[in-house]
Structure formats: C-alpha cells, structure tokens
Amino acid sequence: MIRRLYALALIGVALAGAAFAGRPASVPAGSLEDRIAGYVIPYVRTNNFSGVILVTKDGRPLFRRGYGYAVREFDVPVTPETRFQIASVSKSFTAAAIMLLEQRGRLRTSDPVARILPGYPNGERITLHHLLTHTSGIPNVNGFPDYDTKSRFPQGLGEILSWFKDRPLDFEPGTRYAYSNSNYNVLAAVIERVSGRSYGAFMAENIFDPLGLRDTAHHGDAQAVIPRLAAGYAPAGGDGLERAPYLDWSIKTGNGSIFSTADDLAKWDEALYGDTLLNGISREKMFTEQAAGVGYGWFVRKGARRSLASNGRAPGFSASVERFPDERVCVVVLSNLYSSLSQSMAGDIAAIVFGEDRQPLIPATPVVVPAAEMDRYLGRFAFGQDFSFNPGVSIEIMRDGPWLVMAAGGATGTTYLIPAGNGRFIDRAYGGIVSFDKTPGTKAAFLVWNFGRDFQANRVR
C-alpha cells in the first residue's frame, strides 16, 4: 500500500528539509517579510497550505502570519491565534516531562520499563532511553490493520498498551532505530504511573501552565469544545480539499495528542534555552544525538547550521518546529492540511531567514504537461531491494484527467503528482519530488523518487 509506504517514509521526515538542498543559494532582493510571503503564496493559491507561519529571533517575531481557512465550510480565516493539533511535535513535550521527572529523582532514563510498569512484556530489556530514541523494537501501533477503526473511538492508555505490548518485538532493544509511536504511548503511561496524575493533568500542571502556554493542552476528550481549534482537511485530487478522516486524539496520547498555537510553540522554544523548566544536564541529554539523528523528542541535524527539529503529521494536520540554537532562530509552521509539504517549507523558510534563496516546490505559474508526454510515464515501476522504506515495492503511474497519480496495487493510496516542469512532479501528499527518465520518444524507463535521497524504480510494464 502506498499509504503505508509513505507512512514509513515519514519515519525519516527529518530529512524533508534536506531533500531539496541542491537548490542554488544567493542573497535575494526585498524585505524578509516580502521574501517569505512570496515563497508561501504559491502553496496557498493551489490549496497546498493553510495555516500559520511564525519566525522568531532572540524570542522576537520576524514574521507572523496566518493563511487560508481554519473552518472552510464557514469561511473562518486562520489567524496567528488559531489552535492546531501539532501531531508528533507532541513528543518534544512528552520527552521533556520524562526529563523533568528525572530531575526530580523520580526515575532515570536508564531505568528498565519493568521498574515502573511491572509485568510489562520485555520490560526488563527495554529502557526509557530506548523508548525516547525509538530503539525499543516495539512495533508501531499506527501500522496495525485495525488502527483506522480503533482510532475513531476513545482509547485509554491501558487499552492502547494492551493492543501492542504482547506482540513480538521487531528487533532486540538497542540494536536498531525504527520510528514507532507506541514508544511514546508507553512513556505517557510511565508519566502517569510515576506522577500519579493523568498525562493531560501532569502536562498542564508541570509544563504548560508554568510556562504560560495558555493555548496548549492534551486533546483527551473528543466532546470538549475547544475555542479557535482549526478543523482538519486533506488533499483531494490534484488541487481540491476534503475533510480529513475523523480521529479521536486519545489514541495518540503521548505521541501526538497535543494542540497548540504558533505563539505558544515560540514560547516553548525560548523556554528550552534557560533553566526555567529543564536544567542544563537535561537539555544536553535531550538535544544530543542518541541514535540515527534523534535526541529525546527531537531530530538533531548537523549541517551548515546546527538545528533541532520536531515535526509531525496526523489526519488533518501537519506541524514543524525548527530551532537554530546558535543563531537563536526558530521557525514554526502549523497547517490544518494533512500534507507533508509544510515540513519542507519550514527548512526553506529558515534558509530565507539566513539570506539564501529558496524557490517553492509548487510552481508560481501552473505547468501544463502535454498528453503525449504524460503517456510516456504511464505504467508500473518497481523499486530495488535498496529502497529502505519498502524493498522491492512496485507502484503504478496512472492518469486521472489532467493529472498523473501514483498508486500501489492499482486502486488504493493514490497520491496526485503536481507538474513542476522538465519531467519533474511534486508528490502532493508528502512533498517528495518524482522525476522521470527524459529520453524523448520512448516510454520512460525509470522514475526517481526523492525524499531526502534518490530512490530509483525501473519500468516493469
């Protein structure tokens, strides 16, 4: 299923900002505000971004603007005060809660899970460190066949853990990295057991309230009325939108259940520079690369500029927070569209802030692909065994009117491809670049899918 293929690709979503790093860098003309706005507009005009962008330096806003609609059915606009589900950015808060409990002497990251949750299967072999760094081997609850069904109903942490705790580990704890939301469900249970408070109550009393994050909370009650919370949408076809599938956020307790605003996330960024919440030892542990480019709740990026990134995607929403601690710059991108395009936007906007030139993935002017050229691309292509997300998987390139679509199995999980010119297309759902063999007059012999690196699929039909 291409949906599952891309879900696995999101394990490496920290690569998204680097996926297009080959674009030329120069110092463009115009004010910073004009340059960022000019970059964003093509996404907004094509229904590929709706949300808030906030850029801060030294805690002060350089750019703060809302785009699109919070509730499209009633023409309610997005404003900088709009609340969004922040998906896996929630993990940065869960990790901080564990560090806070360690500071208080209530636990240690080296503790085995069994010390806190007696009787947890393999709990003597799995440590809190393994959970924090996705090296536990616990299978990802999101990948279970009945996840979509169960996610529509309220789920207590006990119910969630019982769903996966007796399943075999995918690998021996500590031997590999594999992103699994289940790890942070277990960490939420650890927080509850150690503190004697519910996950939501502990987060509010110990992190949100002390830091003045008045628009941030755990979304644990689907019946609660939450003012200014955006409705979630998903791409439909090549340029349309539809309501995202319903999700009861309780199933994501600990790994993706928090809602917030851009302003609150900027406060979160500032709080992580000082000792207001976490001491220097805790911050050092959280922001040090522990495994495969991850710290505790953050991706650690080492390039021209050191950065710490937390990003996520869940039905109806996408969120990115990218921190540049050496420059004291933070970029927050929150969207109520179920697309990963906004995650590549965060890295590009940061580059613009640093004086580089970044062009949007979405062309400012629509690109029309002649029918004969589109026909060259139709057919089935297979990736090799080096395709780390799903070795050997085959995909089908089909047409739907003026659009190319990419699918596995012919009917499920289709993603529409937006023409970008010169045989290149943008995967609308996930922001990858798909390019085809350019040999004229023949069927394309291969395609290349880029999401952090190139993966080639050869024609098999």
Give the CATH number for residue 172.
Answer: 3.40.710.10
Give a yes or no: residue 248 inside a domain: yes
Give a yes or no: residue 5 inside a domain: no
pLDDT at 101: 98
Give a yes or no: residue 88 inside a domain: yes
* CA gap 450, 297 in Å, rounded: 25
Residue from 317, 324, 313, 316 nearest 347 by CA = 324
Residue 208: which domain range? 49-338
- Which residue matches tokens 């596995």? 408
The better pLDDT of the pair 23, 187 is held by 187
Phi/psi-derived region of residue 410, left when phi > 0, alpha when psi is between -120 and 50, beta in every other case: left
Do 142 and 284 lie in a common domain?
Answer: yes
Q: State percent of the chain over pLDDT 90.
A: 83
Q: Is the pLDDT of residue 102 over 70?
A: yes
**Could you say which of 338, 362, 388 is where a domain stops?**
338
Distance in angstroms between the alpha carbons of the first and the last residue of the chain: 19
Do 387 and 326 lie in a common domain?
Answer: no
Give a yes or no: residue 20 inside a domain: no
Do 104 and 194 lie in a common domain?
Answer: yes
**Could you say which of 315, 338, 361 is where a domain stops?**
338
Q: Is the pLDDT of residue 164 over 80?
A: yes
pLDDT at 389: 67
Residue from 327, 315, 321 nearest 342 by CA = 321
pLDDT band at 413 (very low <50, low <70, confident <90, very high): low
Give a yes or no: residue 438 inside a domain: yes
Q: Cβ of 304: how many Cβ atoms within 10 Å?
A: 11
Which residues have a Cβ under 8 Å from the Cβ of 376 and sit 6 or more positions away? 436, 442, 443, 444
Q: Strand (E) positions, 281-387?
A: 299-301, 307-314, 317-324, 329-335, 379-383
pLDDT band at 409 (very low <50, low <70, confident <90, very high): low
pLDDT at 387: 77
Span 350-379, average pLDDT: 93
Q: Is the pLDDT of residue 23 over 60?
A: no
Mean pLDDT score of the chain: 91
> What is the torsional sign of CA 196, 198, 200, 201?
negative
Give a yes or no: residue 34 inside a domain: no
Do 314 and 431 lie in a common domain?
Answer: no
* CA gap 319, 24 in Å, rounded: 26
Beta strands 454-459 and 379-383, pairing class: antiparallel
Do 227 and 299 lie in a common domain?
Answer: yes
Cβ atoms of 211 and 166 closer than 8 Å: no
Backbone angles phi, psi at 396, to 5 degrees: -115, 130
Q: What is the pTM of this model?
A: 0.91
Do 287 and 398 lie in a common domain?
Answer: no
Do 107 and 176 lie in a common domain?
Answer: yes
**Could you say which of 289, 313, 338 is where a domain stops?**
338
Span 228-238, average pLDDT: 96
pLDDT at 19: 35
Judged on CB neighbours under 10 Å (0-12, 13-18, 19+), 264 is buried
Give a yes or no: residue 40 inside a domain: no
Assign 133 to helix, strand or coil.
coil
Q: Is the pLDDT of residue 10 over 60?
A: no
Query: CA torsion 172→175→178→182, rounded to 10°?
Result: 40
Q: For the chain, how many structural domains are there in total?
A: 2
The better pLDDT of the pair 392, 1 is held by 392
> What is the torsional sign of CA 403, 406, 409, 414?
negative
* CA gap 49, 362 in Å, rounded: 11
Span 203-218, average pLDDT: 98
Assign 454 to helix, strand or coil.
strand
Q: Please give the C-alpha separations between residue 81 and each of 70, 216, 230, 270, 313, in angstroms, as whole numbers.
A: 11, 11, 10, 18, 20
Do 316 and 380 lie in a common domain?
Answer: no
- Which residue matches tokens 């009917």? 411
Give a yes or no: residue 327 inside a domain: yes
Do 260 and 193 lie in a common domain?
Answer: yes
Span 229-235, average pLDDT: 97
Do 413 and 329 lie in a common domain?
Answer: no
Q: Cβ of 248: how many Cβ atoms within 10 Å?
A: 17
Do 264 and 384 lie in a common domain?
Answer: no
